[in-house]
Structure 1
C-alpha cells in the first residue's frame, strides 16, 4: 500500500538589481533553458514549479520582479507573503551587490516574518569578478542566509540554490495564509496583466 505524501505550497520571490540575471536564473530552474534574447521584466512575472522530495511534494509559485527603479514601488505587492527569497547580484558589478544588501534590509523589515533568504552571486561563467566571494559569504553568514554562486548560462548552482531554499522552508498546513492565498494571487495576476498590457500598447505605438 502506497503512502500518500503531503503537498506543501510556497510563494518565492526573486529580487535584485536590473540585469543581474534574475529572469535567466528562473528560466534555467523552470525549464532548464537559457536565452540571450530575454527582455527586461516589466513589473513582475511568475512561474509554477513542482518538486518531489523524499517525504513530501512541494509546489512553488515563484515571482520574478523587475529591477528597474521605476518599478520599486510595486515590489511589496510581490514579496508580501513570500516564505522564501533569492536575492541576486551580478559578480561583475559591485554596485549590484550593494543593491542586493538594500533588498535584503527591505525584505527583512517589510516582508514576511522569518522569511528565508538565499544570497546569489550570478554570472560565474564570466572571468571578471568584482565581488570577492569571501566578502559575500561573510555577509551572508552574518545575516543568517545561505550563499551560492551561479551561472544561468551554464546552469551551475541554480538547482542547488533553489533546493537549498526549499529545504529551509517550514512545512505548514495547506490552509496557512501564506500558501498561495487565492485572493492575493488574483491581485498579483491582475497587476502583472496590467503591466504587460501597458508594455504591449507602447510597442504598438499607442500614446
Structure 2
C-alpha cells in the first residue's frame, strides 16, 4: 500500500490551501538540555527559518503548525494540526515538564551532537517518559541529535551504543541547515493512527452550507 505524500504547508501556503476531508490534532512535546536547539528545530519545521540569536525558552512555548497529507491512491487530503510544546531546558523548569508531556502523542528528545553530556540528559527524559508510559498514556518517544552541521563525528560510537541500548528511533538533524528535519516529522506523520482523524471543520462547514442552500 502506497504511503501518503506530504504537502508541507510552508512551501505551498502562498499558492493555495487544500481543502481537507479529515483532520487530526497531534500534541508534540520537545524535551532536552538547554541550548541543544529545540526551539530552532521547531522554527525550522514551522517557518523554514533559522535565527542564530534565538534566546533560550522560558517555561515553554506553544506553536501550531498545519500540515497537509495527500493519499496518492485516492487523492484524499488530510490535515494534521501539530500542537507543539517547546519546553525550557533549564534545571529549574524540570518539574513543570509533566504538565506539558501529559496526553502528548509524541515526545521529541533533543541533544547536542557536539556536547555528549547533553545525551545524558536525553537519557533521563527517555527514562521518565518510559515510566510515564507504563502508568498512563502511551507516548511515542523519538531521540534527535541536533547540530549535525557542527559535529565532527567524534562521539558517533558512544551515541550509537546509547541508541541501541535505549531502543528508540534516532534522527540526526541540523536546525541551521534544515538537514533531517523534514524526515523527522515525516516519520511522525507516517506513524499516525488513522483512528485519530475526524471529519474536518472545512468539510463540516461545506456540508452546513449545502444543507442551507437545499432548504431554500
Q: What is the TM-score normalised by the length of structure 2?
A: 0.73
Q: 1:129 to 1:73 in 2, by over 3 A?
A: same
CA distance in 2, matches of 1:107, 1:85: 8
Give 2:195's match in structure 1, choosing from 125, 147, 172.
172
The 5-angstrom pairing of residues 85-124 of structure 1 reads 85-110=107-132, 113-124=137-148
Which blocks of at least 5 consecutive residues in structure 1 are unaligned?
176-207
Residue 54 of structure 1: aligned partner: 70
Residue 32 of structure 2: aligned partner: 16
Residue 194 of structure 1: aligned partner: none
CA distance in 1, matches of 2:64, 2:117: 30
Alignment pair present for 1:38 and 2:61? no
Give 2:102's match in structure 1, choosing from 62, 80, 88.
80
Q: How far off is 1:51 after superposition?
A: 1.1
Tell me which structure has the larger Cα radius of gyration.
2
Residue 202 of structure 2: aligned partner: none
Question: Would you say how many aligned residue pairs link Structure 1 and Structure 2?
Answer: 172
Partner SS, residue 71 of structure 1: helix
Q: What is the TM-score normalised by the length of structure 1?
A: 0.76
Partner SS, residue 46 of structure 2: helix
Q: How far off is 1:144 after superposition?
A: 4.1
What per-residue deviation string (whole Å, max 9, x for no partner) do you get for residues 118-168 of structure 1?
A: 111011111434531x54345435544221101011000011111212222
Deviation beyond 4 Å, 4+ runs, structure 1: none
Q: 1:141 to 1:165 in 2, by over 3 A?
A: farther
Give 1:68's match in structure 2, choosing from 80, 90, 93.
90
CA distance in 2, matches of 1:4, 1:123: 35
Contact residue 8 and residue 172 of structure 1 kept, 8 A: no
Partner SS, residue 172 of structure 1: helix
